[in-house]
């Protein structure tokens, strides 16, 4: 694999960082990230906070068919879909008491529907309606997804803070998995026109559309690597797309298992949501 290295210093942040990344996005190819001379790969989960990165160099993969072609075997995709169906069905069955209790509390403590629906971009860039437990006051919900949720967001209800902290609000997406809109593991589905540091993702990151080559997931390599929360900073926002593309390139059932395990540890057991 031939790499064409382009080094940029983003330590100053702000508009200069965004401008540098926009310039870089003109290069043709898939973005991966090298930090401290080590290319981050799908087989090495990040253990440190990605938001702490002050500078990094990006390596743009040479635009060759051998580099950009994803060699998925039909048996692997069939196995993934079967795993999704079985996993989602078992999850809904085992978690049904919890889902019923949460639904009842939401209905009793604030006016509005139990579920929150929002348009997201799915497989092959096709839109679908994602399903979540409603965690905000109905009159303050942002269906467009432009106003991203932050810590101590006044729009969030008391029960909403609990289910967001524990990521229980995401569990209804198991229905999306059964319907075929989503997978247990894959790039997280973005709202159309998703912004990263005030810039549309497709304008900021060349090859961004390649993250739509697979069904979006309830969790993904980016989330298992600690990359989550508002996309208001350039570096972690770009890193998310890098991880998404790496996942699609290196997809395997074994990688899915590792991501699910890491998600349970990081996101649920440690309560990293907000």
Beta bridge partners of 225: none
Max CA separation in the chain (angstroms): 59
Q: What is the mean pLDDT of the chain?
A: 75
Containing 159, the helix (H) or strand (E) segment is: helix 158-165
pLDDT at residue 11 is higher than 50:
no
pLDDT score of 9: 36
Q: Phi-psi bin for 72: left (phi > 0), alpha (psi -120 to 50), beta?
A: beta
- Measure CA 56 to chain center: 21
Contacts of 79 (CB under 8 A, 6+ apart): 253
The predicted pLDDT at position 266 comes to 77
Cross-strand pairs, 35: 38
Return the H-helix or E-strand segment holding 24: helix 14-24
Query: Which residue(s) pair with 57 in the sheet?
Result: 7, 34
**Percent of the chain, pLDDT > 70?**
66
SS3 content of the chain, % helix, strand, coil (to 5): 45, 15, 40
For residue 120, the model assigns a pLDDT of 96
* Bigger pLDDT: 69 vs 116: 116
pLDDT tens digits for range 124-182: 999 999 999 999 988 766 665 555 666 667 888 999 999 998 899 999 999 999 999 99
The stretch 1-17 carries a mean pLDDT of 36
Task: Using alpha carbons, select from 54, 2, 11 the residue that is nearest to residue 32.
Answer: 2
pLDDT for 121 equals 96
> Which of residues 26 and 178 earns the better pLDDT score?
178
Q: How far apart are CA 131 and CA 117, in angstroms?
A: 5
Packing angle of the helix pair 253-263, 234-250 (nearest 10 deg)? 140
């Amino acid at each position: 694999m031939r790499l064409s290295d382009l080094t940029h210093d983003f330590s100053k942040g702000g508009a200069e960082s965004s401008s540098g990344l926009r310039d870089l996005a003109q290069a043709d190819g898939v973005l991966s990230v090298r930090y401290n001379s080590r290319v981050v790969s799908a087989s090495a989960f990040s253990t440190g906070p990605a938001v702490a990165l002050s500078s990094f160099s990006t390596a743009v993969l040479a635009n060759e068919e051998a580099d950009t072609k994803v060699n998925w075997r039909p048996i692997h995709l069939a196995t993934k879909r079967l795993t999704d169906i079985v996993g989602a069905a078992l999850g809904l069955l085992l978690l049904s008491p919890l889902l019923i209790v949460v639904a009842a509390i939401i209905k009793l403590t604030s006016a509005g529907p139990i579920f929150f629906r929002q348009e997201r971009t799915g497989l092959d860039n096709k839109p679908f309606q994602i399903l979540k437990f409603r965690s905000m006051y109905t009159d303050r919900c942002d269906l467009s997804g432009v106003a991203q949720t932050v810590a101590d967001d006044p729009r969030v209800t008391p029960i909403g803070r609990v289910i967001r902290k524990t990521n229980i609000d995401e569990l209804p997406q198991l229905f999306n998995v059964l319907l075929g809109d989503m997978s247990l593991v894959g790039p997280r589905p973005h709202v159309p026109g998703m912004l990263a540091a005030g810039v549309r993702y497709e304008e900021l990151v060349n090859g961004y559309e390649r993250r739509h080559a697979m069904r979006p997931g309830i969790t993904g390599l980016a989330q298992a690597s600690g990359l989550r929360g508002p996309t208001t900073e350039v570096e972690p926002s770009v890193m998310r797309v890098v991880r998404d593309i790496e996942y699609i390139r290196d997809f395997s059932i074994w990688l899915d298992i590792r991501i699910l395990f890491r998600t349970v540890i990081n996101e649920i057991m440690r309560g990293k949501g907000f």
